[in-house]
Amino acid sequence: MKRPLILLLTLLPAILALASPGAAAQLPDGECLIPSKPGGAMDVTCKLAQKGMQGEAGAPQLKLSYLPGGVGAVAWHTLVSQRRSEPNTLVAFSGGSVLNLALGKFGKADVDDVRWVAAFGADYGMIAVPAASPYRTLGDLVRALRLDPRRVLIGMSGTVGSQDWIKMALLARLAGIDPRKLRFVALEGGGEQFIAMQAGHVQAISGDTSEALLHAGPGKVRVLAVLSETRLPGLLASVPTAREQGYDVVWPVIRGVWMGPGVPEADYRRWVAAFAHMESSPGFVQMRGEAGLYPFTLTGDALTRYVKGAVAGYNRQARQFKLLRER
C-alpha cells in the first residue's frame, strides 16, 4: 500500500499543475508566424500574443518570424502542406484572411483546413491621407473621387476583392461612384501602405486603425475616418466615423492565431487554454489597448463557428460586387 501512495505523492504536483488555470505554463515555447512584412497589423497580432504570454508566470515564450507573400497565402499553404503537424507553431490571421478564404484567394483552401485557436482583439477599417493632403475630411476625398475616380491612387493590402478594396468599394457605392473605376495599388500589408504613401506613390490608403496607430502622428498622416459604430477611445478619439460623415460603412477586423491541421488534439487544446487564460488576465486588457485593439475574445470551437459564419457573410458581400459567381 505504501508504494502506490508514494507514487501518488510523487505525481501530485504534475496533476495539480494540469488541473490548474495556469495549465498554459506546461506548454513548451512556440513560434508565432507573421504572414506579412514587418510593420503591419499582423505584426501587431503576434507581438500582442508574445507580450501577453510573457505576462503570465511560467507561460511559454513566443518567437516571432515572418513569411510574407500572397497576402497570407504563402504562410497558409506552407503550414497546411509542409508544416501541418507542428504542435507549437501559430499563425496570425485577421478578418482579411477569412475574407480571402471566402473569395478563393488561397486556392482550394477551406475554413476547415486549419485549426482556429484564438481571437484576442479587433480593430476597425480606416481611411487615411498624408498630413499635407488637400483632403481634410472624408467628404473632400469622396468629392475628388466623384469628379474623377482615377484622380487619386489608393493604396491597399491585397488586390481587388480584398477587405481594403471592399471598404473603399462600399464607400464609393454610397457616393454613387462605380468602385471599378477607382485606381488602386496592391501592396503587401499595412506597413507597405504607409511607406508608399509617405513616398508619394499613393495619395490615400484604405487600412486598419491598429496600423494607423503605428504610423500616424503630427506632420505624418491624417486619418479621415474610422469605420466603427462610434468614435474610438484613445489616440484616434478625435477622428470622426464614416457614419458621422454620411457614409454608413462599419468594418470590424478580428485578429488572432490558428495552427496547422495535423496538430494533435492535446496540443491544440493546450494552446486554446493558454490563450483563454491570457485573455482573462486584467493585465492583458491594458496590453490590448496599448496595441490599438479593442475587445473581442473567442477561442477554440466558438472561434471556429464564428469564422464559418464570417465566411458565409463575406460570400454574400462578394456577390454584391460580382467578385464571386452565383452557384
Write the single-letter amino acid at 87.
Answer: P
> What radius of gyration, in Å, describes the C-alpha atoms of the chain?
21
Considering the chain, what is the average pLDDT of its residues? 87
Write the single-letter amino acid at 4.
Answer: P
Residue 8 is predicted with a pLDDT of 39
Which comes out higher in pLDDT, residue 278 or 11?
278
pLDDT digits (tens, 9 = 90+) for 19-35: 444 444 467 899 999 99
Cα(103)–Cα(162) distance, integer angstroms: 9
How many percent of the chain have pLDDT more than 70? Answer: 89
Give the orientation angle of helix 95-103 with respect to helix 300-320, to 10 degrees.
60
SS3 category, 262: coil
Spatial CA neighbour of 39 closest among 9, 14, 61, 64: 64
Which comes out higher in pLDDT, residue 84 or 162?
84
Instruction: Work out the average pLDDT over 227-238.
Output: 91
HSE-CB for 82 with a 13 A CA cutoff? 5
Q: Which regions of the chain carry the CATH code 3.40.190.10? A: 124-252
Residue 87 is predicted with a pLDDT of 96
Distances in Å between the Cα of 285 and the Cα atoms of 55, 66, 125, 208 are 11, 26, 21, 20
Residue 28 is predicted with a pLDDT of 83
pLDDT digits (tens, 9 = 90+) for 43-79: 999 999 999 998 776 678 899 999 998 878 999 999 9
Residue 218 is predicted with a pLDDT of 66
- 85 sits in which H/E element: none
Q: Are 205 and 162 in contact (CB under 8 A)?
A: no
Angle among Cα 106, 44, 164 to the nearest 5 degrees reads 50
Residue 283 is predicted with a pLDDT of 92
Q: Could you name the CATH architecture of 27-106+116-122+253-320?
A: 3-Layer(aba) Sandwich (3.40)
Give the number of other CB atoms < 10 A from CB of residue 174.
14
pLDDT digits (tens, 9 = 90+) for 249-261: 999 999 999 999 9
Domain 124-252 in CATH 3.40.190.10? The answer is yes
Cα(252)–Cα(238) distance, integer angstroms: 19
| Sign of the CA dihedral running 152, 156, 161, 165 | negative
HSE-CB for 287 with a 13 A CA cutoff? 22
Cα(247)–Cα(170) distance, integer angstroms: 9
Provide DSSP, 112-161: GGSEEEEEEEEEEEEEEEETT-S--SHHHHHHHHHH-TTSSEEEEESSTT
Q: Are 194 and 221 in contact (CB under 8 A)?
A: yes
Instruction: Work out the average pLDDT over 154-166.
Output: 88
- The pTM of the full predicted model, rounded to 2 decimals, is 0.76
Cα(74)–Cα(62) distance, integer angstroms: 21
Which comes out higher in pLDDT, residue 57 or 211?
211
Is the per-residue pLDDT at 216 higher than 50? yes
Instruction: Work out the average pLDDT over 294-317.
Output: 92
Q: Which regions of the chain carry the CATH code 3.40.190.150? A: 27-106+116-122+253-320
Beta bridge partners of 153: 183
